[in-house]
């Protein structure tokens, strides 16, 4: 980096421009965040900043302002400030920072500023990734002589005037990521989590865009806090025509206490934009895929034993399950909950991370050897952050359990939370996990987290612990991965209750939901995929009768919905008919043949008019091939449904369409669909505009269509 004193900064990358402007020694304003502005001159950029200055209006302050990178009352900002805090008695609650240094590169900016009178120094980092993803992070240092209490420190992202509609998501266990929309009116729309993790009801991103924006149309901007603890995210529209998105950690009382010389640093806040949600999501996917630690090997087909056997661990039964799994093409066998001491149900044993001698008298070696002999990797379920009161660990170390002494908080799933910030507790967990991995041929850990945090207090001090626990979790994962770099880790949290880019920096996939019902998973997977690329999303084929909803779904429908993700199976395969096993094996083979496309291509979705229909696909980056899943959610008002478009293809490439085997689009009483009976070749432009006739499908069924580029006649 080079030191520069320019008041105009233009960051460009990945089709994105970010223009920042500052006057005098004030913190910069983001004048533009969106489409690339090209090679604009300094004078042109200065004119852009001038054109964005507001007028003084009647009844308002004499120095009108737009939001800076850290909006403050001292600048004239009359809304939620970027920094809230004070010293004892409320002193220094309204700092006024003056810039002391600026470092600029082509794609990053670091601004340092101080308020000597208030005894505070701030550093603002702005970075634009190669794919056009904008990141911001703030660091506040107490340079005063006494303590300073940070109540809130939030990054701010400006929005264009066209952003008039908000999209976020809510949910619950078994139904995460349910979308909800409303008008972006004057006022503040706040989403926060106080669960000690993002939570099943968390919105992974908060979006604002042109009214009616969809997957393929409308300018849309969204932000995400890359943090696995409590957070706050908001959309603010002011009466003076400002519109911003803000996000940061949600600090409990006392968590932001800075002694003299101490610094509080926010997590990175990630921002993306696009013409439609697909383009915006694609920027994040590209950035994640460029990471050095991103999984590079083909994502192995995984069988998890939970819904097959639950706590009934029996070597013969599990060996038989592994045999059948290998016969259908499974590549990784994961032994779920129930293998460790005292764990015959979910009321006891958590924390006692030793192999249960009563269930496994010879250790895990017999099942691992059987699995490895079949050519499968072996994986193991753990839940290191949790403890049952009925456990040797809790009896020996009640002081290792988060609780406001002398009482324990309300339990969740009959369990409590360990104090990972306690060095002795962290050392015990590291030793146990390290030993398990060193002593056994384990390639994969399913790392679970099955309850929200309540009254998460360090028992010895009574102080809030969520912030420190999150950092301690990161440290534990980092050290475990340093010692065992070849072991992959899945992040599970009551299903999808901890899905964020902070945890994904340290894990290799997330479990999308404990609900494996394919109909319920359609929205869940679509809105999770706005943040997480498919290769990091655990998507499984479950039992023919869903354990969470009771709905019955055939193998073909389940496989079609799960196909794009990191495919797995969560069912007792020994109970399936040979016909179902044969069909399952065919789908697994199809996944293996196409996973190179699924896990490198671009996710696309059609903005359908008929809510009974769902159209989503994966298009190769060179546009040479694509696969689309056409799902009939429910019965349509019309029969047939009519034409649907297949978006995201190269408009000038000619594609040949075929029904991807296995599976069938046949329904009772229907004639063959013409384009399934004979070769049909259409350009990407035709498919995205005129479309194709959707096969007549029964409700809760799908057709999978393969597109292959072919030479065009000249």
Region label for 522, one of left (φ > 0), alpha (ψ between -120 and 50) or beta (otherwise): alpha
Query: CA-to-CA distance for 257 and 4, rounded, in angstroms?
Result: 33
pLDDT band at 671 (very low <50, low <70, confident <90, very high): confident
623 assigned to some structural domain:
yes
Question: Is residue 122 a contact partner of residue 114, using CB atoms and an 8 Å limit?
Answer: yes
Q: Is residue 397 part of a domain?
A: no
514 in active site: yes
CATH number at residue 639: 2.60.40.1180
Question: Average per-residue pLDDT in the chain?
Answer: 96
**Which burial class, exposed, middle or buried, applies to 580 when counting CB atoms under 10 A from its CB (0-12, 13-18, 19+)?**
middle
Note whether 308 and 177 are same-domain residues: no
pLDDT tens-digit map of 151-181 = 999 999 999 999 999 999 999 999 999 999 9
CA distance 307 to 516: 10
- Interatomic CA distance for residues 666 and 664, integer angstroms: 5
- pLDDT grade for 416, boundaries at 50, 70 and 90: very high
If asked whether residues 94 and 219 sit together in one domain, one would say yes
Per the annotation, the verdict on 25 as an active-site residue is no
**Which one is catalytic: 278, 448, 500, 523?**
448
- Do 426 and 279 belong together in one domain? no
Last-in-domain residue among 264, 289, 314: 289
- Side by side, the strands of the sheet bearing 148-153 are 83-86, 148-153, 257-258
For the ranges 14-28, 637-651, 665-679, which has the lowest average pLDDT? 665-679
Each residue's pLDDT tens digit, 193-242: 999 999 999 999 999 999 999 999 999 999 999 999 999 999 999 999 99
Q: Are 354 and 342 in contact (CB under 8 A)?
A: no
For 142-208, the three-class secondary structure string (H helix, E strand, C coil) is ECCCCCEEEEEECEEEECCCCCCEEEEEEEECCEEEEEEEEECCCEEEEEEECCCCCCCCCCCCEEE
Q: Would the CA dihedral through 473, 476, 482, 485 be positive or negative?
A: negative
E strand map for 560-601:
566-570
458-487, pLDDT tens digit by residue? 999 999 999 999 999 999 999 999 999 999
Same domain, yes or no: 122 and 221: yes
How far, in Å, are 177, 193, 511, 539 from residue 496 at the CA level? 9, 14, 6, 12
At residue 695 the predicted structure's pLDDT band, cuts being 50, 70 and 90, is confident
Please check whether residues 227 and 328 belong to one and the same domain.
Answer: no
The CATH number covering residue 131 comes to: 2.70.98.60
| pLDDT, tens digit, 9 for 90 and up, residues 509-558 | 999 999 999 999 999 999 999 999 999 999 999 999 999 999 999 999 99
The token pair at 443 is 């390639």
299-307 average pLDDT score: 98
Band of pLDDT at residue 694, cut at 50, 70 and 90: confident
Give me the pLDDT at residue 3, please. Answer: 35
Residue 418, domain member (yes or no):
yes
pLDDT band at 24 (very low <50, low <70, confident <90, very high): confident
Whole-angstrom distance, CA of residue 559 vs CA of residue 580: 12
Distance CA(207)–CA(230), nearest Å, equals 19
CA distance 59 to 87: 32
Token pair 């009254």 is at which residue?
A: 455
> Is 37 a residue whose pLDDT tops 80?
yes
Among 21-30, 417-426, 647-656, 659-668, name the one with the lowest average pLDDT. 659-668
Q: What is the pLDDT of residue 502?
A: 98
Residue 461 lies in a domain: no
Question: Do residues 483 and 448 both lie within one domain?
Answer: yes
- Give me the mean pLDDT over the 597-623 stretch: 97
On whether both 279 and 309 belong to a single domain, the answer is no
Q: What is the 3-state secondary structure (H, E, C) of 230-285?
A: CEEEEEEECCCCCEEEEEEECCCCCCCEECCCCEEECCCEEEEEEECHHHHHHHHH
Helix, strand, coil shares of the chain as percentages rounded to 5?
20, 30, 45
Does some domain include residue 460? no
Query: Which tokens belong to 669?
Result: 């009483």
Cα separation, 449 vs 510, in Å, equals 12
Shared-domain flag, residues 80 and 30: yes
- Return d(Cα 364, Cα 371) in angstroms, integer: 11
Helix (H) or strand (E) holding 480: helix 466-483
Residue 371: partners with Cβ closer than 8 Å, 6 or more residues away = 322, 333, 377, 378
Find residue 175's DSSP bridge partners: 172
Q: Specify whether 355 is located in the same domain as 488.
A: yes
The 3-state DSSP class for residue 594 equals helix
Which CATH number does the domain housing residue 450 bear?
A: 3.20.20.70
Cα separation, 147 vs 151, in Å, equals: 13
- Examine the domain organization and report whether 327 and 473 are in the same domain: yes
Q: What are residue 318's phi and psi, to 5 degrees? A: -70, -35
Residues 670 and 540 in one domain: no
Question: What are the tokens at 216?
Answer: 């393929």
Domain-ending residue, one of 289, 316, 340:
289
The answer to whether position 295 is within a domain reads: no
Check whether 670 has a pLDDT greater than 80. no
Residue 172 shares a structural domain with residue 261: yes
| pLDDT range class, residue 668, cuts 50, 70, 90 | low
Position 256 in a domain: yes
Structural domain boundaries, residue 629: 603-710
What is the total count of domains within the chain?
3
Instruction: Look at residue 666 in the predicted model and tell me its pLDDT.
Output: 59
Answer whether 473's CB lies under 8 Å from 228's CB.
yes
- Of 240, 255, 289, the one marking the end of a domain is 289
The answer to whether residue 398 sits within a structural domain is: no
Percent of the chain with pLDDT over 70: 98
């Amino acid at each position: 980096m080079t030191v520069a004193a320019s008041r105009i900064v233009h960051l460009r990358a990945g089709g994105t421009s970010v223009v920042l402007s500052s006057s005098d020694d004030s913190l910069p304003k983001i004048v533009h965040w969106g489409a690339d502005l090209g090679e604009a001159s300094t004078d042109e950029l200065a004119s852009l900043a001038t054109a964005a200055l507001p007028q003084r209006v009647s009844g308002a302050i004499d120095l009108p302002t737009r939001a800076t990178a850290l909006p403050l009352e001292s600048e004239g900002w009359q809304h939620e400030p970027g920094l809230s805090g004070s010293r004892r008695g409320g002193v220094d609650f309204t700092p006024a920072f003056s810039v002391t240094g600026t470092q600029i590169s082509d794609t990053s900016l670091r601004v340092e500023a101080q308020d000597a009178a208030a005894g505070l120094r701030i550093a603002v980092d702005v970075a634009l990734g190669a794919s056009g993803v904008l990141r911001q992070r703030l660091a506040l240092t107490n340079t005063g002589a006494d303590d300073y209490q940070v109540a809130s420190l939030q990054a701010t992202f400006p929005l264009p005037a066209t952003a008039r509609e908000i999209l976020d998501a809510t949910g619950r266990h078994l139904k995460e990521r349910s979308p909800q929309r409303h008008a972006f009116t004057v006022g503040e729309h706040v989403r926060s989590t106080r669960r000690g993790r993002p939570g099943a009801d968390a919105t992974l991103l908060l979006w604002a865009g042109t009214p009616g924006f969809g997957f393929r149309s409308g300018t849309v901007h969204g932000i995400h806090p890359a943090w696995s603890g409590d957070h706050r995210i908001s959309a603010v529209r002011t009466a003076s025509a400002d519109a911003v998105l803000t996000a940061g950690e949600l600090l409990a009382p006392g968590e932001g206490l800075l002694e003299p010389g101490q610094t509080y640093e926010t997590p990175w806040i990630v921002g993306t934009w696009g013409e439609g949600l697909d383009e915006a999501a694609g920027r994040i996917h590209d950035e994640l895929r460029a990471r050095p630690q991103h999984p590079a090997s083909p994502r192995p087909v995984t069988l998890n034993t939970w819904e097959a056997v639950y706590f009934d661990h029996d070597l013969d039964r599990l060996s038989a399950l592994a045999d059948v799994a290998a016969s259908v093409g499974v590549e990784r066998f994961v032994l779920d909950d129930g293998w460790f001491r005292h764990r015959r149900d979910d009321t006891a044993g958590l924390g006692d991370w030793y192999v249960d001698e009563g269930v496994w008298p010879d250790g895990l070696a017999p099942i691992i050897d059987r699995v490895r002999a079949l050519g499968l990797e072996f994986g193991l379920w753990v839940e290191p952050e949790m403890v049952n009161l009925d456990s040797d660990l809790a009896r020996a170390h009640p002081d290792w359990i988060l609780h406001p002494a002398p009482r324990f908080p309300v339990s969740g799933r009959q369990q409590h939370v360990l104090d990972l910030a306690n060095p002795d507790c962290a050392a015990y967990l590291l030793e146990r996990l390290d030993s398990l991995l060193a002593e056994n041929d384990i390639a994969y850990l399913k790392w679970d987290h099955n309850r929200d945090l309540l009254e998460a207090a360090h028992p010895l001090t009574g102080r809030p612990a969520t912030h420190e626990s999150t950092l301690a979790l990161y440290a534990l994962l980092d050290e475990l991965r340093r010692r065992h770099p070849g072991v992959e880790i899945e992040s599970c949290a009551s299903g999808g209750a901890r899905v964020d880019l902070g945890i994904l920096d340290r894990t290799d996939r997330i479990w999308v939901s404990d609900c494996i019902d394919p109909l319920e998973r359609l929205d869940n997977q679509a809105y999770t995929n706005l943040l997480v690329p498919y290769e990091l999303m655990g998507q499984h084929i479950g039992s023919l009768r869903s354990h969470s909803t009771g709905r019955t779904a055939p193998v073909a429908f389940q496989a079609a919905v799960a196909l794009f993700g990191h495919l797995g199976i969560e069912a007792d395969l020994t109970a399936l008919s040979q016909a179902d096993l044969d069909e399952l094996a065919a789908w697994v083979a199809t996944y293996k043949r196409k996973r190179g496309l699924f896990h490198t291509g671009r996710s696309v979705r059609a903005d359908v008019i008929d809510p009974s229909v769902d159209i989503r696909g994966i298009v190769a980056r060179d546009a040479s091939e694509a696969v689309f899943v056409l799902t009939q959610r429910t019965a349509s008002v019309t029969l047939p449904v009519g034409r649907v478009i297949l978006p995201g293809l190269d408009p000038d490439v000619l594609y040949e369409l075929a029904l991807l085997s296995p599976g069938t689009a046949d329904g009772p009483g229907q004639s063959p669909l013409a384009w399934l009976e004979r070769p049909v070749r259409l350009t990407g432009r035709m498919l995205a505009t005129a479309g194709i006739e959707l096969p007549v499908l029964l409700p809760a069924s799908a057709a999978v269509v393969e597109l292959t580029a072919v030479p065009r006649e000249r």
